[in-house]
Amino acid sequence: MIQQIFSYAEIVIKISPSRSTTSSPRQFSGSGSPSKESKRTYDALIYSKFPVPQLTVPERTPVGQPNEISGLPLIGRERITVRWSRYQEYLAAFVEGDKAPYLMRERLLEVMPGWLESLFTQPFQSSQPVRVWWASDTPELEDLPWELLTYGSANQPAARLAFVRGLPPETPVPILPIGDRLRLAFIHDPSFTPPALLNAIHNLSSQNIEVVDLPEFPRKGLERVVQEGFELVHIVADGIVSSAYEGVLYFHGGRSTSPEISPGELSAILRGSRVSVLSLTAQKYSNPDTMTIAGVVVPSAYRAFAYLGSSRLLLPSIVTPLGPLQDHQVDSFWSTFYNTVAETLSLQKGMLSGRATGGPMPIALFLRHPYEVLFRRRGPAAAPDEADPSQIGAALQLSHELVAQLKAHNEAYGSLPESVNKFIESESIRQQGLATALDPWLKLEQGES
């Protein structure tokens, strides 16, 4: 369990289908128009250590839901009702039509019950800034730009409210040692890269970041990223959504006979690497992969990026747009984001600074790091062959998974051979050693948040 040592008042909001609703799951007809269902109700389970007088602790925890998350107890339950017959038409218009973020925000606020609406529109009674973790058990809500809720309220300044996707990680993520500069791998085909993004990344002003262009096959680029120890990766791709609601990256341009990279393959490639942040941008392509929503054909990249970000697989923190951006927003956000991360080593300060530059932007942070800082600069006394905590952490997690599988096999099929029991004992001792080696990189030093 993560020790709550960061400087936020933490709130987890976990969305799941309400068992009391009789409405059908969302479905689409062949034309893309909603069929059978006009609305659906969801439970919004609220976890926090911060007292909220307006909320009532449920007498019973809903079936299949936890009593607490990362040490945060369940303090309330509210109901969210989404009217899909109206909402999907508006989402389609937002993504491919008028691109009106303020109107989209108003539509999002319509589905918020009393206390949740006040969270995004009224001052929160806390001396600390508030961090909201937003997680969903149901895929149809993942691609909605909930981030727009945090804009437009003078009563709730952006610096007081951090909005992130996902749940606080149960497995600690180490803070990585770095040298003088962070390294950013830019994996893209220049023929399909938006010019505003090229300008933003190739003209970063910080001296604490090095950008390396990797305009080669995406898989080769990712392999180089792992081999050379890059900390940041920015990928320009299209995206498609599989029948299992997986967000699959798709690369136009004919640079590979296998242009798709699934979340499972991406996770396998990056496992044990130093990559801490993966950023995504949609390719500028005249015939992108599309889907139909409410009779309107829209690019599917944003949906794919959302589902990739919410994957339960082992992946870095992911920063991605969930809707269209103006060119000036692309330039201002990414340049400010990367410059700030390079200077402060803080992902959330990068998000805050970037989002403050160009008005409402549907840019999501799927967070997998509990701390304010992601990196720690190596001191002059650091050994050149010092073990990398990312590799130690990957080895420890792999050992835990292997032992868990062996124990599950034992419970299902009977006793294991003595040799396997001895292996489990030796792995337990090895795990203790790995945990001891990793421990210094799971603690913050004085001055870090």
Q: How many structural domains are present in the chain?
A: 3
Q: What pLDDT is attached to residue 22?
A: 45
Q: Indicate the helix (H) or strand (E) that contains 436.
A: helix 418-438
> Residue 133 — very low, low, confident or very high, per pLDDT cuts 50/70/90?
very high
Residue-number span of the structural domain to which 405 is assigned: 389-442
| Structure token digits, residue 58 | 């449920």
Task: Show which of 165, 195, 210 is a domain's final residue.
Answer: 165
* Cα distances (Å, whole numbers) of residue 112 to 106, 108, 355: 10, 7, 23
Token pair listed for 115: 């206390």
- 116: pLDDT strictly greater than 90: no
* CA atoms lying within 13 Å on the CB side of residue 367: 27
Give the end of a domain, one of 319, 336, 370.
Answer: 370
Token pair recorded at residue 203: 């003209």
Return the number of other C-beta atoms located less than 10 Å from residue 269's C-beta. Answer: 17
Per-residue confidence band for 179, with pLDDT thresholds at 50, 70 and 90: confident
Please compute the mean of the pLDDT values over residues 330-353 and round it to a whole number.
94
With helix as H, strand as E and coil as C, how does 102-141 read? HHHHHHHHHCCCHHHHHHHHCCCCCCCCEEEEEEECCHHH
Say whether both 363 and 243 belong to one domain: yes
Banded model confidence at residue 213, pLDDT cuts 50, 70, 90? very high
What tokens appear for 244 in the block? 């299992």
Is 279's pLDDT higher than 80?
yes
Model confidence band, residue 159 (pLDDT cutoffs 50, 70, 90):
low
Same domain flag for 200 and 61: no
Do 102 and 191 fall into the same domain? no
**Gap between the Cα atoms of 32 and 294, Å rounded:** 5
Residue pLDDT, tens place only, 70-80: 889 999 999 98
Q: Are residues 244 and 212 in the same domain?
A: yes
Residue burial 203-214, b: 16+ Cβ < 10 Å; e: rest: ebeeebbbbeeb
Which residue has tokens 């990957």? Answer: 394
Which residues, 6 or more positions from 37, have their beta carbon under 8 angstroms from its beta carbon? 23, 24, 25, 26, 27, 84, 85
212 and 118 in a single domain? The answer is: no
Task: Classify 330 in phi/psi space as left (phi over 0), alpha (psi -120 to 50) or beta.
Answer: alpha
Return the percentage of the chain with pLDDT > 70, whole number. Answer: 80
DSSP three-state, residue 318: strand
Asked if residue 104 is part of any domain, the answer here is yes
Same domain, 195 and 335: yes
Q: What is the pTM of this model?
A: 0.83
Mean pLDDT of all residues in 133-140? 89
**pLDDT value at residue 6:** 47
In terms of average pLDDT, the best of 137-141, 298-302, 350-354 is 350-354
Separation in Å, CA 384 to CA 80, 246, 437: 53, 40, 16
d(CA 277, CA 134): 19
From 132, 165, 198, the end of a domain falls on 165
CB atoms closer than 10 angstroms to residue 165: 24
Burial class (CB in 10 A: 0-12, 13-18, 19+), 428: exposed
CATH code, domain with 334? 3.40.50
Of the given ranges (59-68, 338-347, 403-412), which has the lowest mean pLDDT?
403-412
pLDDT band at 264 (very low <50, low <70, confident <90, very high): very high
| pLDDT surpasses 70 at 338 | yes
What is the pLDDT averaged over residues 412-423?
78
Q: Exposure string (b/e) for 128-140, b if CB count within 10 Å is 16 or more?
A: ebbbbbbbbeebb
Residue 406 falls inside a structural domain: yes
Tell me if 314 is assigned to some domain: yes
Give yes or no: residues 128 and 228 share one domain: no
| Report for 249-253, 263-267, 393-397: range of highest mean pLDDT | 263-267
Q: Is residue 158 located within the same domain as residue 274?
A: no
- Per-residue pLDDT at 362: 87
Q: Are both 45 and 124 inside the same structural domain?
A: yes
Mean pLDDT, all residues of the chain: 81
* CA distance linking residue 3 with residue 15, whole number of Å: 24
Q: What is the 3-state secondary structure (H, E, C) of 367-428?
A: CCCCCCECEEECCCCCCCCCCCHHHHHHHHHHHHHHHHHHHHHHHHHCCCCHHHHHHHHHHH
Smallest CA-to-CA distance from 259 within 189, 318, 196, 315 is with 189
180 domain residue, yes or no? no
Q: What percent of the chain has pLDDT over 90?
A: 33
Mind listing the pLDDT tens digit for each residue in 16-26?
A: 988 654 444 44
103 and 199 fall within a common domain: no
Q: Is residue 447 part of a domain?
A: no
pLDDT of residue 25: 47
pLDDT at 442 exceeding the cut of 80: no
Query: What's the mean pLDDT in 138-155?
Result: 77
Q: Are 359 and 435 part of one and the same domain?
A: no
Question: pLDDT by residue (tens digit) across 297-330?
Answer: 445 788 899 999 999 898 999 999 988 888 999 9
Co-location of 234 and 354 in the same domain: yes
Put residue 359 in one of left, alpha, beta given phi > 0 → left and psi -120 to 50 → alpha.
Answer: left
Query: For residue 381, is it within any domain?
Result: no
- What are the residues facing 346 on neighbouring strands? 373
Helices (H) then strands (E): counts for the chain: 11, 20
Other CB atoms closer than 10 Å to residue 440's CB: what's the count? 13
294: pLDDT strictly greater than 50? no
Question: Does residue 125 form part of some domain?
Answer: yes
Q: What is the pLDDT of residue 28?
A: 44
- Whether 435 is covered by a domain: the verdict is yes
